[in-house]
Structure 1
Amino acid sequence: MMTNKEVEAALDKIQPPDDLFEQMARQKDGFAKNTVLAFKRISNGEAQGLADRDARCTDDPPAVLWCSACQQAGVVNWMGDKEPEERPCHSAWVPYKKRKIMLHDTTKESVEVREEGDGIACPWCGAKGALRHSEYMRQGVCEQLIPTVPYVLGEALLLVQWIAEERIVPDGLAWRKDRTVLPMRAWLAEERGVRVWAKTVRRYGHCFERLSGWEPRQYNGDKLATPYFYTRRPPKLAGTWLENSKLWQWMRETYELQTFAPLAYLALYRKHRNAEVLVTAGCGALLGGWIKKECAVEDWYSSAARYKVPKLAWVQWKQRRPSAMLGLTRQQLRECLGAQCNDTAKTVYIRNGAAQGLSMEECAALCNWCDEYCLLEMMAQCKALPGGLQKGIRYLQKQKKSWSFLHDYWDMQAKLGVDLDADAALRWPKNLLAAHDRAAAALKYEKDKRKEAAFARMTDRLRGLCWAHDGICIRPAESIRELVEEGKVLHHCVGGYGDAHCAGRCIFFIRHERRPERSWYTLQVDVAQKRVLQNHGYKNEYVGGRVRKIPQAVEDFVDAWQREVLAKWTLPMDKKPKKEARAKAGHAA
């Protein structure tokens, strides 16, 4: 095992491949190949130096046109600073800021006028790109990519990230391309684990800070995930612990699918050396998809920012043959890999479909009807039931409902204590929608019944706060239904305060003593702290487009009630039912 100092010395000597830019430009996920054609006005004397590439067609002032694809510059007509009356008769008037050029198109034998930002074909190489003025090019046009390049260091695999930049900068009369490659991070994948070093760190605002040297960092999971990877001429792994890992074969099968996660695969191979058997058997693409679905941790932008350590617990890792590892026969595995269907259908077939007697065609049809997650959950739930999965599928298709709807019904019945296996009509009701609604209503009734009991107990404890004074009276709310009615009459949100009332932030009704049944004002009080939280009337006093004041008589009544009743009152102990109290005592014991 190499020491940190030895690894850092080796990292200082490592160089990027000579063809890094060319290789990344050829790859599907490499440089965007955005061609820029830059232009600016020049003098007649400067134009004479570009006489061999002259595409002018009028006597208008000259401008230089430079193409980033062929990196050649030529002369065209400048049309950006002429007054309207001085323009040629065939050119339309445009404001000064709308800079234009005119050039002769040799392919069409015509005159073309192009405005800044338009698409244009290079008159010398034919590459198509965007027309940009020199003001746009002042800060340079940069394209950046962070590819990962593999190396072999001793008996370990070294993965180095490079910051590759291609920048277009001014160069005398025209422009030029500058390419820079700087090291960023390095992962040393050893048999015992992974070590990380950093040479450049990312700061706020997507800026990079160059460190003085390679600094070791703590390995906090696979943040390499699925990188841009230098796939040409990967190093030979002979003599390393990865000699038989089939890593590069797996890379060729998964890179175009964007599921090539080298550190995640190495973590799996480190724990299960027979992972390479799946790659050799032709399951590499499937394995990449399984690792991504299980391990990818998405960030705010829904991209895989890092990977967890893969487990794939459903794979039988103690087996040696690939078919046995996946719970299939050899013939079933051959049929699965040769089937003309997507990887989702193959995954469903491997994980549960084959064991429950489904064919590949049936699994593919099911994947069009239901997503993979729900389908696998349904297979697991229905596996032990009479009729199995086939009965569940036929039932849901007849009812025209999804698996999640049926699972929700089963879950509610379990919460109600119903034994679904006691009667097939309970497990598979004739009308699933009606049965689902009945179960939901029963569950809501049970929850409300428990809440109503707690509400009533709290109200009984608040009886000592009832009071009447100067024609105004106050009392606690009697039930949740009474809260809802109060909210409907006064047009405010007290109807949803049932839980708050039970928790000690209690609701009181302020009424006229002569009409105690008529809603007037609603008071909320924290009875533990003896503090008024809020007091509101009709529409929270917002009537006719402005906020009304609470009558002084009501405010005086609340102040007197706090002073004479609330301050002298003590909240009684909660008298819970005996069964509930015994159950809690037994649980605590």
Structure 2
Amino acid sequence: MDKDWKKITEKLPVEPRGDLVNDVLSDIYDNGDALGTPMLLFHREPVTLAEPLKEIMCPEDWERRRQTAKHRWGARCTCTNCGEDFTAGYSDGGIVLETGPDDETCAGYAEPGPVTNVYLEGETVLCPKCWTAVEVTRRADLRRGRTCQVLQAEVVSVDAYTAVMYWLVSRHFDDAGGDHVMFLPHAALLIDGDGRLRRFRPKRTGYDVRDVVWMPCGCTRDPMQMPYYSWEAANHRKIGGWTLAHVPDLDRHTGEKTALKEYIAAGGCWPGAYLHVWERHPQVENLMRQGFAEAVVSTIDDTLDLANNVHDLCDTPPIPWVDWREVKPHRMLHMSKPAFREISKKHWRAEDAECWDRYRRQIPGADAMDFEYCRKRVGSKAVGQLLEIVAAGWEDLLPLPVVRYLEKRGSVKDGVQMLIDYRKMLRDAQMAETEETLWPRDLLAAHERITKFWANHFRASYQMGFTSTFIRFRALEWTDGELCIVLPRVEEDLVAEGKVLRHCVGTYGSAHCSGKPVFFVRHRRRPERSYYTLQINMNGTIPKEIQLHGYGNERHGDHKQYTHKIPRKVREFCDRWEREVLTPWFAAQRAWADRPAKKKQKAGRIA
């Protein structure tokens, strides 16, 4: 490293810029759950109920008031958001608040009844003082306080050097209702004059936050990938953080040729990981500046965002669809110059680039423009499904001929999955495979005919598999209050779903029992009525959605000539279920499967 590193460290900032602080504080207090949830602290205390005082009180009035007074247990509450104290009723494990005519909560002692609600510990209630959603929390649980933390990354210029500063934003709640936010220096990644990364750590020299001296570290690990404490995180250990979108001008600085500004502008949240990729492969700058920034960002960020544990993290996440032996962008992606020039305007993401890499490897002499033609019409996901089918021996289902066939038949929307299902059912029914049956003139009608034929004559019994599948995945049944996720119990449930919604899910019994389960999306109040059908692939390293369809695969009319869209609330509900229920459950199952056998046996005996 440069010999004058001590002079450089003296110029590294020890506190964040004012606009960063203001932005973070705004996020925390305007979005109540950005870093810890505001709480309504309560503890039990005696409350005396007596007649109201009059303007003039005689001794008899005072005596009568004293004799009729009632002593009850109430709750003393403090809102951490507004700092206000008030009294509420007390219920074992929670508080009692009166509800006004507009469903607003009112402060004051109350008892359980028709105009009051009981809020138990852990539930959310609107504070009657500031109308903020707060979590009901017993004050005794905060005797030692509660601290939520997150790393905030910021790109700064120090003389001619570029550095990424990491501030530990610490939000501390105490049992008195205090809510304190501090910004502590955590780490710094600096690009030196030789284009190498250098990492520094803060050393405290006093009690003030600014009493810090930056010291060099022996390694350059990404600070965001090193676990740090936060109360709300699993096992109180968190990785990742926030990245400030504003990046200063890096011209004539050591970060000029890193394309770090383009990475953050494309939504990148792991600047340290990107700089490690750049340090190993400097030519990544060419892709970032030539239209593939979104693909690089989504590859790096998805790899780290979807990591199930610390062992899945990597300072230099791999980008497998790039040939790092090349320097020129079109050669790095194995495209011709004209094709690269055209495709660079399309803003590919990681799944598109990965699918192209598989396409060119699997199809000799593949043309990138042919792939783009297919991707634009059916999407990378559908092209990937066709490549899987081709690899399985269905050599006539190459993406380009299939897409052209679907365009001629007017069945591009969801046509790939429909054709694949049709071909599988045709094969399983052992029907004659002629040119007319393999490539029907009316794919929708042919698909419906074979679906009915299969459902009526060739349904096998999968009850044993259905029972085991239900036991395995029943923890994934869930509701948000309006919609719900339901698992089929028997094969007849799938068949009935397919008949009502007029699609081929009735033939999915084998897939359902072999790691690609089908889930029913229903209205919570009428869970017996078919609504939408969701299928998930559980056989990979992460769960992936295969398809989500409703009536007629979103087609209706006498000849299914009309199309309609999946309702937004259904799509958002499924996304929320996959994010909040499916992914954590899958990660927990995988972590359990990875544990040594002896530990599993011991845990089983304890349970």
Normalising by the residue count of structure 2, what TM-score does the alignment of the two structures yield? 0.46
TM-score normalized with structure 1 length: 0.48
Bigger Rg, structure 1 or 2: 1
